[in-house]
Chains A and B, each alone.
Chain A
Amino acid sequence: MILVPITYKGGVFRHDEILDLIEDVGGYIIQKHMIAQEVVLQALVPKEDIDTLKKVSRPLAGEVIPAPLVGTEIAVVSMSVEIHHLPHASCDIAEYLRTAGAKTNMIGLARGFGKRIGLLSDEERDIINEHDLAIYLFGNFETCIREKMPTFRRGIKVPIVICGGPSKDALKKIIDPPAAGYVGGMGRFMHRTKEPHEIALLDEIVAEVSRVIDQKRAMIAKDPLSVTPARLMDIILENVPDIHEVTSPVPVVVQMDGIRVKLPYDPFAREIREIEVEEGIRIADICDLHPSRMRDYILLKVKPFSETGMLV
């Protein structure tokens, strides 16, 4: 069964029918937002059932849009949290990626500014590595990007997409060894992105991130995960009642190869390890549980088929 990431936008009226349909066909709802009279669902739906969903949503004035980044957690790394880098471009990019379905976290580095003095701490490096992909928002000068890049990629294991002021070709030329993706013309700026060419650049970022994510998906498909992270999310939501007490808008974040559970590690990790996914198979058999560096959340990374010998 191939699951396709989609966004559903529609009214509150009878939206429970859409929720039921997605669950009945074997899909997963990753995020649900209720904004006034509007409902936005980010979901994974079996490819063959997309037409049925479109048919059912038509009389409800709902819209089914492909959202390539649903089920990914992306780190938008800003060089600092000063006025120089916030709110534009960091917020603009993070917000635009959310419209494509990604769960974005903004990471403002403590000492990221400057070409010689710029630093990446252990904690920052570990937090970035907990994501599926990192977008680095650099400045406008080639000299600075060339000099600071080695410091900022040290220890980073996730694919990096570079955004900077110089053109894409210039970025490719100055970054060695190559990064996973590049978007030029998107460096430091102090105004809101609203002009057509700026929106086109934001679209380019989504396209570049989607391309890199697809490459990662293809890599994972070669040695499939023992359980899909979306299913793991459903199991946690069913079996851990305390998760419904979490006030965070997304208590369980789906990643490409795992999930982040927003419950403290010490009291809940043991309970989660023992949950049965299917008869005789516990979460501990197919997942590695780690304490997250982000607050004290729990990070579950699903083991691949080659390691466990089972597909649940």
Chain B
Amino acid sequence: MSTLEYFEVESTEPAGGELYRRIASTVITDHNLLKVLERLRIFIDPAIPIFIAVGITRTMPRMITVSDLAGVTFDEHKITLSIADETYLADLLQFLWKKYGKDHVNQPDRFTIEIKTVGDAAESGIEDLAVADPSEGLYKDLIYSLQVICPEGYKVKKQNFNNGRFWFIASENTLPEDVTSLVAGQFEIMEAAP
């Protein structure tokens, strides 16, 4: 966990906390979140019982546009896309079918997509259209991994992810309506640390 600037697991039972530190470390590594996380703090009190995780992510990857994954050429009423990266090809096809209709989108081979346009193809502005948002998957991965780290009996959960700051709180009992103070306390400790 050397790439995290701050990583702390605190518990009212220090021995248990130490074991949970190892669990958190394994889960974060397994889910490839090391590069994404900058700071992470987990607090567990099994007596209440409560599990609070707060953290900050590094700069989020921006939206993926058509020009990021394909070379674009225009020929009057035809746009030709030469796919360079297949990662988001399925998303791209879905997007093109929706925008231009299936009749106008043709894929003669694996790496080529041809689109028939009504007006001048060069003016379509297709290069800058957004295809996928990688941060969406990242948020799901992050919350999923915190659910895996958290003790299994803690079934009542709340989470939030906003502007690179996230928190996850869980308990076996009902959670208070407003958990802001609990979360803010942990953010304060994390941010005060060097």
Contacts and interface: CB of A to CB of B under 8 A. Distances in A.
Sort chain B's interface into a size bin: 20 to 34
Residue of B11, B19, B22, B27 with most partner-chain A CB within 10 A: B19
B187 interface: no
| Minimum-distance CB pairs A-B, first 5 | A114-B153, A113-B152, A141-B46, A84-B152, A113-B153
Interface in A71-123: 79-80, 82-85, 113-118
22 contacts: A114-B151, A114-B152, A114-B155, A115-B172, A116-B153, A117-B155, A140-B16, A141-B11, A141-B16, A141-B151, A143-B49, A144-B46, A144-B153, A165-B15, A166-B15, A167-B15, A187-B16, A188-B23, A189-B23, A190-B23, A190-B148, A191-B26
Interface of B: 11, 13, 15-16, 19-20, 22-23, 26-27, 30, 44, 46-47, 49, 148, 151-155, 172-173
A188 B30 contact: no
A82 B152 contact: yes
Contact of B152 (A80, A143, A167, A187): A80
A189 B154 CA distance: 17
Contacts of A113: 151-153
A126 interface: no
A139 B44 CA distance: 13
Contact of B153 (A115, A167, A189): A115
Contacts of A139: 151
Contact of A114 (B15, B27, B44, B172): B172
Contacts of B20: 140
Contact of B19 (A80, A143, A144, A187): A187
A82 B154 CA distance: 13
Given A85-B152, A114-B153, A188-B23, A142 B30 contact: no
A191 B24 CA distance: 11
B172 A79 contact: no
A293 B27 CA distance: 36
B26 A166 contact: no
Interface of A: 79-80, 82-85, 113-118, 139-144, 165-167, 170, 187-191
B47 A117 contact: no
Contacts of A116: 153, 172-173
A143 B30 CA distance: 29
B19 A79 contact: no
Nearest to A170: B15
A112 to B, nearest CB: 9
Given A141-B11, A141-B44, 17 more contacts: A113-B152, A114-B151, A114-B172, A116-B172, A117-B155, A140-B15, A140-B16, A140-B19, A142-B13, A143-B13, A143-B49, A144-B49, A144-B151, A165-B19, A189-B26, A190-B27, A191-B26
A142 B16 contact: yes
Nearest to B27: A190
B93 to A, nearest CB: 32
A187 B152 CA distance: 13
Nearest to B48: A143
A296 B20 CA distance: 40
Contact of A117 (B22, B23, B27, B172): B172
A118 B47 CA distance: 15
A117 B153 contact: yes
Nearest to B148: A83
A163 to B, nearest CB: 13
Contacts of B154: 114
Contacts of B23: 188-190
A118 B49 CA distance: 14
B16 A165 contact: yes
A79 B44 CA distance: 20
A143 B46 contact: yes
A166 B16 contact: yes
Contacts of A144: 46, 49, 151, 153
Contacts of B172: 114-117
